[in-house]
Amino acid sequence: MDAVWMLPVLLVLPLLLWTSSTFVFYFKKCFYVAYMMLLAVIAIPICILKSGGRDIENMRVIRFLVRHVKYFLGLRYQVSGWEHLQTEGPYVIISNHQSSLDVLGMVEILPDRCTMIAKKELIWAGTVGMICWLGGIVFINRKKTSDAKNVMSDAAKTMLTDKIRLWVFPEGTRNQNGGLLPFKKGAFHLAIQAQVPIIPIVFSSYSKFYLRKEKEFKSGTITLKVLPKIETKGLTADDVTTLSDQAFGVMRSAFMEISGQSAQSNGPSTH
Ligand SMILES: CCCCCC/C=C\CCCCCCCCCC(=O)SCCNC(=O)CCNC(=O)[C@H](O)C(C)(C)COP(=O)(O)OP(=O)(O)OC[C@H]1O[C@@H](n2cnc3c(N)ncnc32)[C@H](O)[C@@H]1OP(=O)(O)O
Ligand SMILES: CCCCCCCC/C=C\CCCCCCCC(=O)OC[C@@H](O)COP(=O)(O)O
């Protein structure tokens, strides 16, 4: 008798869960983490067999394997300014950083021989940490500025000897409060020390489809805008602040433009 009563509950409960936006939020987030971990399990032996260990060429494998993940999460990307990435040789890419979902946008446009600067804690993220190491990601200790600076100065040299491009998040942490956080200086020292151009890339706001506080994760389209490169030839450490302000200015206006906000709206307005 009891079983008959259970039937509608068993049928309706999944439906209720499925339509609940909070459920969808947690489901998509768990799926994302678990699936990336699984993809890393597949990627690790491929990378080791292909390159024998830590090698920037492994980023090609990672880029290829991660590109389809957006479809499962209902995300689409619109890219503008492709032509600005057609720059020969090493450069530093800087972009805003809203969430770990940024990885999906990065693989859409990641140039060859490009890896990233990341916080050292990421190396402990299980198989994802392992694949980050194999992909040549440069790990820094944000709590020890002098260590971080040394690692980045070494990276400036390696960029030139090994013809490597580096992707840095100059905000230094994730930020979803609208607008951009004031920039840290590392990316600009890096580009000046290596005397290579900076290519700014802006991700439009996720706030229309991904709301952490409200626990909503809907489908959405993200605009990725690649901005014209900023040359650093002839600049010295004295020019870091000017360079950083210039990059902040162009990126902030692009962010407002592609996120459908006016320049007067929220976010830290002054640098
Ligand atoms: C198939 C498998 C699938 C698996 C999934 C995996 C998929 C893909 C893999 C890829 C995923 C990777 C994604 C990576 C994302 C990770 C993102 C992050 O971790 S973001 C956080 C880490 N990044 C950063 O923090 C970079 C930005 N930070 C900086 O650049 C900072 O400047 C610093 C950390 C170097 C220093 O920090 P801090 O002291 O807080 O900041 P400042 O105010 O900027 O600097 C203080 C003074 O030091 C001077 N300075 C800074 N850098 C240098 C330098 N290199 N050389 C000389 N001097 C430097 C600066 O000018 C300041 O001095 P002042 O006199 O005040 O000017
Ligand atoms: C056994 C350990 C399990 C750990 C589980 C975590 C695994 C993460 C799995 C999948 C996500 C894939 C994308 C990984 C890259 C995301 C990097 C990232 O966005 O790091 C955050 C960092 O930029 C800023 O951090 P803070 O906000 O400053 O702190």
Dihedral pair phi/psi, residue 268, rounded to 5°:
-65, 115
Q: Does the structure show a pLDDT above 90 at 2?
A: no
Q: What separation in Å is there between the alpha carbon of 269 and the centre of ligand 2?
A: 28
Query: Which ligand has the nearest atom to the CA of 184?
Result: 1
Residue whose CA lies nearest to ligand 1 atom number 25: 172
Q: What mean pLDDT is predicted for residues 22-38?
A: 95
Three-state SS at 86: coil
Closest ligand by atom to 173 CA? 2
User: What's the pLDDT at 41?
Assistant: 98
- Rounded to whole angstroms, how far apart are CA atoms 159 and 91? 8
Pocket probe for ligand 1: among 116, 149, 171, the residue whose CB has the most ligand atoms within 8 Å is: 149
Residues of the chain with pLDDT > 90, as a percent, come to 84
224 with 78: CB under 8 angstroms? yes
Q: How far is residue 118's CA from residue 182's CA, in Å, rounded to a whole number?
A: 18
* ipTM confidence score: 0.93
Mean pLDDT of the chain: 93
For domain 2-259, is the CATH number 3.40.1130? yes
Residue nearest to atom 66 of ligand 1 (CA): 185
CA dist list (Å): 92 to 13, 155, 233, 259:
50, 11, 13, 24
Residue 262 has pLDDT above 60, yes or no: no
Q: What is the DSSP letter of 263?
A: T
3-state helix, strand, coil in the chain (%, to 5): 50, 15, 35
Query: Quick one: average pLDDT of 221-246?
Result: 98
Atom 25 of ligand 2, residue of closest alpha carbon: 173
The amino acid occupying position 202 is: V
* pLDDT tens figures, 44-101: 999 999 999 999 999 999 999 999 999 999 999 999 999 999 999 999 999 999 999 9
Least confident span in 115-119, 140-144, 259-263: 259-263
Q: How confident is the model at residue 20 (pLDDT cuts 50, 70, 90)?
A: confident
pLDDT tens digit string along 174-206? 998 888 999 999 999 999 999 999 999 999 999
> For the whole model, what pTM was predicted?
0.91
Q: How does pLDDT run across 122-150, given as a tens digit for each residue?
A: 999 999 999 999 999 999 999 999 999 99
Domains of the chain: which residue ranges? Answer: 2-259
